[in-house]
Structures are given as C-alpha cells and as structure tokens.
Structure 1
Amino acid sequence: MSEDKVLPKDSDSDYSLPGRYEESNFTYEQPAISYENTPRSKSKGLAIGVIAFAIISTGFFSYYFLNQNEIDSQIVQNTLNISPEQILANQYNVGKYGSDHAHAAILVVLDGEQLNFGLPQFQLASKYIHFEDHNPYLIHKHATGVPLEMLFVSIGLKITQECIFIEYDFSNKVNEFCADEKKIVHVYLNGEKFSSDISQYEIQHNDRILITLDETSISKHLKYLDSFEIFDVPKKPLVNSDKDILI
C-alpha cells in the first residue's frame, strides 16, 4: 500500500517546503536610480502627450468636418425647440410663474374702433402675461420682470412710434396702421403721455394704457379707459400656518 500524502501541519514552518529556505535567506537589493536619465524620460513623456493630443484633436476636427452638416442641423433643431416665449423669458430674466400677479387695462384704438382682445386668437397666448376669460381689455401678469413685449409678441402686436402692426388671425396677413401728416401713434399711461418704448414697460397693478392714432379723440378714449373695471388680485392663504391668513 502506498503512503498517503500529508500536508504540513500549521506549526510547521513555511520555510521547510522545497525552495522556501533559499527565498527566506534572499536579500533584496534596490537598484540604484540613475538621475541622468530622468530629464530625458520626462521629455519623452511630454512628447508622447503632445502627439496623443494632436492625434485626438485631428480626429475630432476630422469628425466635425465630415459630419458638419448633420451637427449644424442638430444645433439648429435644438435651438428651434425653444419657444419664442421662452427665448424672451430668458432674455428679460423673467421670474418663475407665480412670482408676481398684477392686472392692468389696455385700450388700443384703430380707425376709431377698440381692438377686441376678447377674440380667441388673443386669449391665453402666453403663460406669463395674457388676456383670459374672453375679457377684451384686462391684462394678467403672472411673473416678475415681464415686459409688455412678451404680451405683444404672443398676440402678433407690434407698436412703434410710427406704426401699429397687428395680426388679426393665425394667417401671415399683417395689418399696418401707420402715422401720416394728420396722425401719429399716441401712448398714454395712467392718463399721462408716455414717450418711452411701451413694449419695454412692465405693468403694475391698476395701470391703464391707451394706444391710438386718433389724436382728436384722446380725451374721450381716456375717459372710456377709466371706466374699465380692474379686478383685484385673488389672495392666497399662507402655507404652514395655524390659521388661514390671506395675502
């Protein structure tokens, strides 16, 4: 019968195994560092880095020029995905929706007739500033920093010192009402002549705005504008309060 192979006991030294004694008596000597080759190694590493960067850059620019049309098209598409309203909101640093709430009345008179903002194409055209509930004159502003330009752009209205441009429907037809020798564009804010660009103005609660080309009837229009009712801003209860406190 052959003898069974027996593994060394735990108490047996690892050095009793074949080859371990020699390893246990081996002394490791650290090779001497040659400082003469260090600058050369650094220069070599720097050169490799420059070459690698050049290769990567060449590959990137080659990819761009080979796919330039596709990349540019994607950039344009991403830009188009931003709505005109959001572009203006970013431009004017408009606050978050609900950061403000104000009501104002506006009267635009063209050829002796009030422009009816109660028509569907003028209603709720912007979330930040708009007409609603088929009201023909009452502006609702729902954020800070919102200029009238955001309202005008949303409904296709443009006011200059010489002309009033308005799109009556969703077609591309634009109606122009421009000044001549007998009439110019008049803008009044709270009964006073407003000489600045009205599109850059941010309404305050209870403001009344008149825009007309009819100089002879301004006093009549202002009186009519004063008859418009401007509703109070609804009050909201404070959150996390023991009692319902209105603000």
Structure 2
Amino acid sequence: MLPEDKTLPKDIDSDYSLPGRYEESNSTYHEPIKHEEIPPRPKNKSLAIAIIAFVIVSSGFFSYYFINQSEIDSEIVQSTLNMSPEQILANQYSVGEYGSDHAHAAILVVVDGEQLNFGLPQFQLSSKYIHFEDHNPYLIHKHATGVPLEMLFVSMGLEVSEKCIFVEYDFSKNTNEFCAEGKKSVQVYLNGQRFPSDISQYEIKHNDRILITLDEKSISKHLKYLDSFEIFDVPKKPSINSGKDIFI
C-alpha cells in the first residue's frame, strides 16, 4: 500500500503532465506515406554510349587496316617512289612557288688544288629551283624562297661533310671522294668568313660568295680568286599590273 501522503496525479489516464509528452499529445498521428520505389536511372548514360560507339568505329578501322595493310603500305611507298628527290626536298623545306624569289651567288669548290667544273652538261639545270645554267661553272641561280643549298647538291650529286667532298664524276683521279687527312677538315667560307655550320642547310642571298676546299694553306688565294667572279644582277621586267619593276 502507498503511504497516505503519497498520491498519484489525478489525471492518470492522461500523459500531458509527463515530461516530454506535451508535443506528442498535441500532434496528430498519420500513417507513413508509402512511395512507389523508382528504379535508379543509369549514370553517365551518354558517356557510355559514346564510348561504345568509339570502340565499334575504332575496331572497324583497325580491322580494315590490318586486313588491307599490305595494300595500304604499298600505296604509300609507291606515292613516295613517284616523287623525285627534288619534290621530296621541296616538301621537306616548304619551298615556295617557282618564281617566288630570284638570287645569284658564286661558289668555288677546290679539290687537289683544282676547281670543280660545274659548267659540264651533267651539272646544268639539274633542278628548277636552284641550278647552274648557260655552261657557267660557278654562278648559282635560285628561283624560289626557302631553297637550301642541299637541293642544289643533291640534284648534281655533290656532298660536303666535315671531312670529305664527294662528287659524282671522275675528276683528275679514279675516285670521286676527296677527304682531308689527319686532323684536317673541309674548309667552308661564306663572304670571306669561316662558316661554322652545315653549308648544305644555307639559303643563298644575292651576291653571296661561297668557298669549299680541302686546301687550308691556300685559303687567301682561293678567296681572292672567288672575289674575281662576276655575279650578274638579277634581271627585272615591268609589272603588267603596277607598271613598276619587279624581280623575276
């Protein structure tokens, strides 16, 4: 039995007076709303489609290449073979159109104390972009922009390395290759000054004078002889459009 002075609250059936129950007693109870489950949408659907399409296209391309590899490679090789050495070099150096420039320069190549004669027929007009003409043995004609001396050398079978000069014709000996002895090297001069780089990569300017020799002891004599060569002025013609003179 409970003590007489200890009594329960009168509203024992109500829990309003119990701590924490007031809010719950004033709120209306609702059944939880059931939502239909929506299946998750695939993520990055567009990216997946793009990847699949790329794989299919790539597979088709590589399959075609491997099936026809021999034929494709043959066509590439044939296209290259159909190009002349001049065309290959013109593409390599991005040479301008014929007539885009016109310059004259003098060159002297000396081996065994004698000048190589570029006035011979096999050296004349061997390239349309840069050549010798009119049986002149020293005067270079350049007819386009971006033309290196290598195009002239290749067209006439001349090669200049650090130690040797090679030319494709017999000149005073049974060999076409002339090399410096011991620690000596091929001497190259441009406009009276030693040229330290590969002269074949040089693009001539009007009035340039180039000396290539194995004879180190006679440099001054060869330079003086080179200076005696006449370099003709570039011919001009009147422009139809402007009436002014232009280079041809």
Q: TM-score, normalised by structure 1?
A: 0.72
Please say which structure displays the higher CA radius of gyration: 2
Larger CA deviation: 157-166 vs 131-140 = 157-166
Would you say 1:245 and 2:216 are equivalent positions?
no
SS at match of 1:109: strand
Partner of 2:143 in structure 1?
Answer: 142
8 Å contact kept, 2:168–2:176: yes
Which residue identity is paired with 2:152? L
Q: Distance in 1 between matches of 2:51 and 2:210?
A: 65
Identity of aligned residues (%): 79
Task: Identify the residue that residue 219 of structure 2 maps to in structure 1.
Answer: 218
Q: CA RMSD of the aligned region, Å?
A: 2.8
Tell me: CA distance 1:174–1:146, structure 2 relative to 1, closer, same or farther (3 Å): farther
Post-superposition offset of 1:61: 3.6
> Contact 1:183–1:214 at 8 Å: present in 2 too?
no
Question: What's the CA shift for 1:90?
Answer: 2.1
Quick one: which amino acid aligns to residue 124 of structure 1?
L
Look up the equivalent residue of 1:109 and give its one-letter code.
Answer: V
Query: Hey, what's the Cα distance between the residues in 2 that align with 1:188 and 1:47?
Result: 65
Matched residue of 1:124: which SS?
Answer: coil
**Structure 1 pair 237/51, CA: closer, same or farther in 2 (3 Å)?**
same
- 1:151 maps to 152
Query: For residue 101 of structure 2, what is the amino acid of its counterpart?
Result: D
Residue by residue over 1:69-127, the C-alpha shift from the partner in whole angstroms, topping out at 9 and shown as x without a partner, is: 12211111112222222222222222211111100000000111110111111111111
Instruction: Give the gaps of 5 or more residues in structure 2.
Output: 1-37
What residue in structure 1 maps to residue 123 of structure 2? 122
Looking at structure 1, the residues matched to 149 and 214 of structure 2 have their Cα atoms a distance apart, in angstroms, of 19
Give, in whole Å, the separation in 1 of the partners of 2:50 and 2:197: 60
**Alpha-carbon distance in 2 for matches of 1:86, 1:237:** 31
Partner in structure 1 of residue 70 of structure 2? 69
Q: CA deviation at 1:182?
A: 7.2
- CA distance in structure 2 between the partners assigned to 1:227 and 1:98 by the alignment: 28
Amino acid in structure 2 at the alignment position of 1:118 = G
CA distance in 2, matches of 1:220, 1:127: 33
Conserved 8 A contact 1:167-1:174? no
| Residue 91 (structure 1) aligns with | 92
Q: 1:63 to 1:214 in 2, by over 3 A?
A: same
Is contact 1:101–1:141 with CA below 8 Å preserved after alignment?
yes
Query: Which amino acid letter does the alignment assign opposite residue 208 of structure 2?
Result: D
Is contact 1:117-1:123 (8 Å) kept? yes
In 2 relative to 1, CA 62–109 (structure 1 residues): closer, same or farther, beyond 3 Å? same
CA contact (8 A) 2:163 2:184 kept: no
The verdict on how the C-alpha distance between 1:184 and 1:70 changes in structure 2, with shifts beyond 3 A counting, is same
* Equivalent runs, 1:12-51 vs 2, <5 Å: none
Distance 2:222 2:51 in 1: 75
Give the C-alpha shift of residue 210 in structure 1.
Answer: 0.7
1:23-47 CA-to-partner distances (Å, cap 9, x unmatched) read xxxxxxxxxxxxx9xx89xx7x999
Counterpart-to-counterpart distance in 2, 1:194 and 1:53: 54
- 3-state SS of the aligned residue for 1:88? helix
- Structure 1 position 208, deviation (Å): 0.8
1:81 equivalent in alignment to 2:82: yes
Alpha-carbon distance in 2 for matches of 1:167, 1:139: 18
- The 3-state SS of whatever aligns with 1:103 is strand
Whether the aligned pair in 2 keeps the contact of 1:166 and 1:174 (CA below 8 Å) is no
Distance in 1 between the 2:244 and 2:51 partners? 68
Partner amino acid for 1:123? Q
Alignment CA distance shift 1:63-1:236 (3 Å): same
Q: Which amino acid aligns with 1:122?
A: F
Q: Which runs of 5+ in 1 are unaligned?
A: 1-35
What secondary structure, in the 3-state scheme, does the structure 2 residue paired with 1:145 have? Answer: coil
User: What TM-score, normalized by structure 2, do the two folds share?
Assistant: 0.72
The DSSP-based 3-state class of the residue aligned with 1:188 is: strand
- SS at 1:236's partner residue? strand
